Amino acid sequence: NAGVTQTPKFQVLKTGQSMTLQCAQDMNHEYMSWYRQDPGMGLRLIHYSVGAGITDQGEVPNGYNVSRSTTEDFPLRLLSAAPSQTSVYFCASSRTQNTGELFFGEGSRLTVL
Amino acid sequence: GQQLNQSPQSMFIQEGEDVSMNCTSSSIFNTWLWYKQEPGEGPVLLIALYKAGELTSNGRLTAQFGITRKDSFLNISASIPSDVGIYFCAGRVTSGTYKYIFGTGTRLKVLA
Protein backbone atom coordinates (compact mmCIF):
# COMPACT_ATOMS: atom_id res chain seq x y z
CA ASN A 1 0.00 0.00 0.00
CA ALA A 2 2.53 2.62 -1.10
CA GLY A 3 0.04 5.32 -2.16
CA VAL A 4 1.92 8.59 -2.83
CA THR A 5 5.68 8.34 -2.30
CA GLN A 6 7.97 11.36 -2.06
CA THR A 7 11.76 11.50 -2.02
CA PRO A 8 13.88 12.82 -0.48
CA LYS A 9 12.29 13.38 2.92
CA PHE A 10 14.89 16.01 3.86
CA GLN A 11 17.22 18.16 1.74
CA VAL A 12 19.52 21.10 2.38
CA LEU A 13 20.60 23.25 -0.55
CA LYS A 14 22.74 26.30 -1.04
CA THR A 15 21.29 29.33 -2.81
CA GLY A 16 21.53 28.87 -6.56
CA GLN A 17 21.65 25.08 -6.55
CA SER A 18 19.08 23.06 -8.43
CA MET A 19 17.36 19.86 -7.44
CA THR A 20 14.37 17.65 -8.16
CA LEU A 21 11.79 16.44 -5.68
CA GLN A 22 10.38 13.12 -6.75
CA CYS A 23 6.75 12.04 -6.47
CA ALA A 24 5.31 8.70 -7.50
CA GLN A 25 1.87 7.17 -7.03
CA ASP A 26 0.82 3.59 -7.62
CA MET A 27 -2.96 4.15 -7.65
CA ASN A 28 -3.26 4.94 -11.40
CA HIS A 29 -4.42 8.45 -10.52
CA GLU A 30 -4.79 10.90 -13.37
CA TYR A 31 -4.52 14.05 -11.25
CA MET A 32 -1.29 14.96 -9.44
CA SER A 33 -0.23 18.17 -7.77
CA TRP A 34 2.47 19.86 -5.70
CA TYR A 35 1.86 22.04 -2.67
CA ARG A 36 4.09 23.92 -0.31
CA GLN A 37 3.32 24.33 3.37
CA ASP A 38 4.60 27.32 5.30
CA PRO A 39 3.92 28.33 8.93
CA GLY A 40 0.69 30.23 9.40
CA MET A 41 -0.48 29.62 5.85
CA GLY A 42 -2.66 27.04 4.23
CA LEU A 43 -1.23 24.64 1.70
CA ARG A 44 -0.55 26.51 -1.53
CA LEU A 45 -0.69 24.93 -4.97
CA ILE A 46 2.51 25.15 -7.03
CA HIS A 47 1.74 23.11 -10.15
CA TYR A 48 -0.70 20.40 -11.10
CA SER A 49 -1.33 17.86 -13.84
CA VAL A 50 -4.60 16.34 -15.02
CA GLY A 51 -2.89 13.56 -16.96
CA ALA A 52 0.33 12.44 -18.60
CA GLY A 53 1.72 15.17 -20.83
CA ILE A 54 -0.48 17.91 -19.31
CA THR A 55 0.66 20.36 -16.65
CA ASP A 56 -0.54 23.74 -15.47
CA GLN A 57 0.42 26.42 -12.98
CA GLY A 58 -1.05 26.80 -9.56
CA GLU A 59 -1.00 29.70 -7.16
CA VAL A 60 2.79 29.97 -6.59
CA PRO A 61 4.59 28.52 -9.65
CA ASN A 62 7.57 30.86 -9.93
CA GLY A 63 10.93 29.15 -9.50
CA TYR A 64 9.53 25.67 -10.07
CA ASN A 65 9.14 23.43 -13.11
CA VAL A 66 7.22 20.21 -13.53
CA SER A 67 6.73 17.54 -16.15
CA ARG A 68 4.45 14.53 -16.41
CA SER A 69 5.86 11.96 -18.81
CA THR A 70 4.09 9.02 -17.13
CA THR A 71 0.89 8.60 -15.13
CA GLU A 72 2.88 7.50 -12.09
CA ASP A 73 5.52 10.22 -11.74
CA PHE A 74 5.33 13.98 -11.23
CA PRO A 75 8.73 15.47 -10.34
CA LEU A 76 9.12 19.05 -9.11
CA ARG A 77 12.28 20.87 -10.17
CA LEU A 78 13.80 23.85 -8.43
CA LEU A 79 15.87 25.62 -11.05
CA SER A 80 17.93 27.95 -8.85
CA ALA A 81 17.06 27.56 -5.18
CA ALA A 82 16.37 30.64 -3.07
CA PRO A 83 15.91 30.95 0.72
CA SER A 84 12.24 31.82 0.07
CA GLN A 85 11.80 28.27 -1.18
CA THR A 86 12.58 26.85 2.26
CA SER A 87 9.39 24.95 2.99
CA VAL A 88 7.76 21.57 3.31
CA TYR A 89 6.59 20.25 -0.05
CA PHE A 90 3.72 17.83 -0.49
CA CYS A 91 2.69 15.87 -3.52
CA ALA A 92 -0.99 14.90 -3.77
CA SER A 93 -3.05 12.87 -6.22
CA SER A 94 -6.64 11.97 -6.97
CA ARG A 95 -8.25 9.48 -9.33
CA THR A 96 -9.34 12.14 -11.80
CA GLN A 97 -9.53 15.93 -11.89
CA ASN A 98 -13.21 15.65 -10.99
CA THR A 99 -12.77 13.19 -8.11
CA GLY A 100 -12.93 14.90 -4.75
CA GLU A 101 -10.61 12.82 -2.64
CA LEU A 102 -7.05 14.14 -2.66
CA PHE A 103 -4.34 11.91 -1.16
CA PHE A 104 -1.02 13.29 0.09
CA GLY A 105 2.52 11.98 0.37
CA GLU A 106 4.51 12.32 3.57
CA GLY A 107 6.30 15.46 2.50
CA SER A 108 9.80 16.68 1.63
CA ARG A 109 11.38 19.23 3.95
CA LEU A 110 13.68 21.58 2.02
CA THR A 111 16.04 24.11 3.55
CA VAL A 112 17.83 26.63 1.32
CA LEU A 113 20.79 28.37 2.93
CA GLY B 1 -3.85 33.92 -2.63
CA GLN B 2 -7.29 33.06 -1.36
CA GLN B 3 -7.49 31.20 1.93
CA LEU B 4 -10.23 29.77 4.03
CA ASN B 5 -10.92 31.14 7.48
CA GLN B 6 -10.59 28.24 9.86
CA SER B 7 -11.38 28.51 13.55
CA PRO B 8 -10.36 28.12 16.21
CA GLN B 9 -6.62 28.30 15.52
CA SER B 10 -5.91 26.07 18.50
CA MET B 11 -7.75 24.17 21.20
CA PHE B 12 -6.74 22.60 24.49
CA ILE B 13 -9.33 20.16 25.75
CA GLN B 14 -9.69 17.45 28.33
CA GLU B 15 -9.89 13.83 27.27
CA GLY B 16 -13.50 12.84 26.78
CA GLU B 17 -14.69 16.28 25.70
CA ASP B 18 -16.30 16.99 22.34
CA VAL B 19 -14.58 19.29 19.85
CA SER B 20 -16.00 21.55 17.14
CA MET B 21 -14.19 23.47 14.45
CA ASN B 22 -15.29 25.18 11.28
CA CYS B 23 -14.19 26.73 8.01
CA THR B 24 -15.79 29.62 6.19
CA SER B 25 -15.15 31.14 2.79
CA SER B 26 -16.40 33.94 0.59
CA SER B 27 -16.49 31.46 -2.32
CA ILE B 28 -19.01 28.74 -3.01
CA PHE B 29 -17.51 25.26 -2.96
CA ASN B 30 -18.69 22.00 -4.50
CA THR B 31 -16.48 19.80 -2.34
CA TRP B 32 -15.18 19.99 1.21
CA LEU B 33 -12.40 17.79 2.55
CA TRP B 34 -11.19 17.43 6.13
CA TYR B 35 -7.65 16.28 6.94
CA LYS B 36 -5.57 15.51 10.01
CA GLN B 37 -1.83 16.11 10.04
CA GLU B 38 0.61 14.88 12.66
CA PRO B 39 4.16 16.20 13.09
CA GLY B 40 6.48 15.17 10.27
CA GLU B 41 3.68 13.51 8.34
CA GLY B 42 1.50 14.37 5.38
CA PRO B 43 -2.20 15.26 5.72
CA VAL B 44 -4.45 12.22 6.02
CA LEU B 45 -7.94 12.45 4.56
CA LEU B 46 -10.67 12.05 7.19
CA ILE B 47 -13.95 12.95 5.50
CA ALA B 48 -15.06 14.12 2.05
CA LEU B 49 -18.32 16.04 1.49
CA TYR B 50 -19.96 16.62 -1.89
CA LYS B 51 -23.46 18.06 -1.35
CA ALA B 52 -24.83 21.04 0.53
CA GLY B 53 -26.33 19.87 3.82
CA GLU B 54 -24.50 16.55 3.70
CA LEU B 55 -23.60 15.08 7.09
CA THR B 56 -20.95 12.35 7.08
CA SER B 57 -19.35 10.40 9.93
CA ASN B 58 -16.10 8.51 10.26
CA GLY B 59 -16.02 6.87 13.67
CA ARG B 60 -16.09 9.63 16.29
CA LEU B 61 -15.71 12.30 13.60
CA THR B 62 -18.68 14.00 11.95
CA ALA B 63 -18.47 16.67 9.28
CA GLN B 64 -21.14 18.75 7.60
CA PHE B 65 -21.30 20.62 4.30
CA GLY B 66 -22.97 23.94 5.10
CA ILE B 67 -26.20 24.71 3.26
CA THR B 68 -24.81 28.02 2.00
CA ARG B 69 -21.95 26.01 0.41
CA LYS B 70 -19.54 28.51 1.96
CA ASP B 71 -18.82 26.69 5.18
CA SER B 72 -18.14 23.32 6.73
CA PHE B 73 -17.93 21.95 10.25
CA LEU B 74 -16.01 19.12 11.89
CA ASN B 75 -16.96 17.61 15.23
CA ILE B 76 -14.96 15.09 17.24
CA SER B 77 -16.83 13.34 20.01
CA ALA B 78 -15.32 11.92 23.20
CA SER B 79 -11.78 13.02 22.37
CA ILE B 80 -8.82 10.77 23.16
CA PRO B 81 -5.09 11.56 23.36
CA SER B 82 -4.40 10.24 19.85
CA ASP B 83 -6.70 12.92 18.41
CA VAL B 84 -3.83 15.37 18.90
CA GLY B 85 -2.76 16.98 15.64
CA ILE B 86 -3.62 19.72 13.18
CA TYR B 87 -6.94 19.51 11.40
CA PHE B 88 -7.29 21.16 7.98
CA CYS B 89 -10.25 21.87 5.81
CA ALA B 90 -10.03 22.20 2.04
CA GLY B 91 -12.64 23.53 -0.34
CA ARG B 92 -12.91 23.12 -4.07
CA VAL B 93 -14.38 26.02 -6.02
CA THR B 94 -17.21 25.48 -8.46
CA SER B 95 -15.72 27.26 -11.44
CA GLY B 96 -14.40 24.13 -13.11
CA THR B 97 -10.89 24.56 -11.84
CA TYR B 98 -9.17 21.56 -10.37
CA LYS B 99 -7.80 23.48 -7.43
CA TYR B 100 -8.40 23.25 -3.72
CA ILE B 101 -8.07 26.06 -1.22
CA PHE B 102 -6.81 25.06 2.21
CA GLY B 103 -7.53 26.42 5.67
CA THR B 104 -4.67 27.32 7.99
CA GLY B 105 -5.53 24.53 10.42
CA THR B 106 -6.80 23.98 13.94
CA ARG B 107 -4.16 22.68 16.34
CA LEU B 108 -5.76 20.29 18.80
CA LYS B 109 -4.20 19.22 22.07
CA VAL B 110 -5.90 16.71 24.34
CA LEU B 111 -5.03 16.60 28.02
CA ALA B 112 -5.36 13.20 29.62
* Nearest residue to B108 (alpha-carbon basis) of B91, B83, B88: B83
**Contact of B18 with B3, CB cutoff 8 Å:** no
Residues of chain A contacting B72 with CB distance shorter than 8 Å: none
Report whether pLDDT(A96) > 90. Answer: no
The predicted pLDDT at position B96 comes to 60
Which residue of chain A is at minimal alpha-carbon distance from B46?
Answer: A101
Does the beta-carbon distance from B33 to A45 stay under 8 Å?
Answer: no
Query: Going by C-beta distance under 8 Å and a sequence separation of 6 or more, which residues neighbour residue B23?
Result: B4, B5, B6, B7, B32, B71, B72, B73, B89, B91, B103
CB contact under 8 Å between A42 and B104, yes or no, is yes
The string of pLDDT tens digits covering residues B68-112 is 999 999 999 999 999 999 999 999 876 666 678 899 999 999 998
User: From the list A59, A97, A102, which residue is nearest B1 (CB)?
Assistant: A59
Judged against a pLDDT cut of 70, whether residue B16 lies above it is answered with yes
Per-residue pLDDT, averaged over B23-42, amounts to 93
The string of pLDDT tens digits covering residues A19-54 is 999 999 999 999 999 999 998 888 999 999 999 999
Interval A66-90 mean pLDDT: 97
